[in-house]
Amino acid sequence: MENENKVVTIPFVAHESAMNRMERANKRLWLLLIIMLLSFMIYLFLPVEVSQDDVSQNAENIETSEVNQTIGD
């Protein structure tokens, strides 16, 4: 029961070093989050070009191709 009333003290230097490490880690996380959001937005707004020639040519190739299926021995 006597141990419950004891106050644990942390040296000031240890506390400050831990806070500095945490601040640096938080800055890196925020920077990573901003870079990821910007790259995702750039990805969404990139133009995607599909020419009609490619689509129609692929459709013709699919319609005219013969399907050869072989059954195993």
Q: Is residue 53 part of a domain?
A: yes
Supply the pLDDT for residue 26. 98
Residue 1 lies inside a defined structural domain of this protein: no
Position 52 in a domain: yes
Residue 66 lies in a domain: no
Kindly state whether residue 29 falls inside one of the protein's structural domains.
yes
Handedness of CA 47, 51, 56, 61 (dihedral sign): negative
Could you list the residue range(s) of the whole structural domain that residue 20 is in?
A: 7-57
Tens digit of each residue's pLDDT (9 = 90 or more) over 48-73: 776 665 555 565 556 555 555 566 65
Q: Does residue 21 lie in a domain region?
A: yes
For 46, which DSSP code? S
Written as six digits, the tokens of 54 are 């490619």
Interatomic CA distance for residues 28 and 30, integer angstroms: 6
Stretch among 15-19, 24-28, 44-48 having the lowest mean pLDDT = 44-48
Q: Count structural domains, the chain.
A: 1
pLDDT greater than 90 at residue 21: yes
- Looking up tokens 């692929």 gives 58
Structural domain contains residue 11:
yes
Question: Is 70 inside any structural domain?
Answer: no
